[in-house]
Amino acid sequence: MQKAYNQFPALSAKQAKRKTLVSLTPLIDVVFILLIFFMLASSFTKWHSVEVNSSSSNAGGSLATDLPPFLVQVATDKLLLNNSEITLSSLLKQAKVKPSEQAIILQPLGDTPVQALIDILDELNAQGIAPLQLVQDPTWQASKQTKIRANMPLEVL
């Protein structure tokens, strides 16, 4: 005799438990997404300011003292103090013994990277050497790839 389709199989007293598998893939995906987000959102640089007087803020760029200039020219790979090559440690020693009213004039030469100038400014500020004045190299010319127009942002061709 055939069983009717509406009959259910008999349940035994000991029903087999189903094992539930939990996949860790979505959890790992979420962890990596959070890791990438926090890495991109965090800042690994120490931001601080350096106080510098530009030559245009002073009347005609002249100093208020009669002392000879303390001109430090910054290049990519060397430092010049009054047109003679000097090391950073020697510059720091000489800058510490200068009169307090005598400003140090920093002049980046040619296409000196800004980071080289900032490194020198940081060292001088860390030693408490002030006042500092920043002037432009009179021989510097903008490269032919850089085009500056009046009332327009800087364009690089």
- For 77, the domain range is 53-134
pTM of the model: 0.53
The number of distinct structural domains making up the chain is 1
Strand, helix or coil at 149? coil
- Asked if residue 122 belongs to a domain, the reply is yes
Q: How far apart are the first and last CA of the chain?
A: 91
- Asked if residue 23 belongs to a domain, the reply is no
| Per-residue model confidence (pLDDT) at position 153 | 44
- Asked if residue 129 belongs to a domain, the reply is yes
- Asked if residue 17 belongs to a domain, the reply is no
Specify the DSSP class assigned to residue 112: -
Q: For the chain of 157 residues, list the mean pLDDT of each consecutive stretch of 10.
A: 61 69 90 94 77 55 63 89 89 84 85 87 85 78 53 41
- Asked if residue 124 belongs to a domain, the reply is yes
Is the CB of residue 91 less than 8 Å from the CB of residue 81?
yes
CATH number at residue 74: 3.30.420.270
| Per-residue model confidence (pLDDT) at position 131 | 80
- Asked if residue 8 belongs to a domain, the reply is no
| Per-residue model confidence (pLDDT) at position 28 | 95
Q: Return the ∠ at Cα 105 (arms to 46 and 131), rounded to 5°.
A: 65
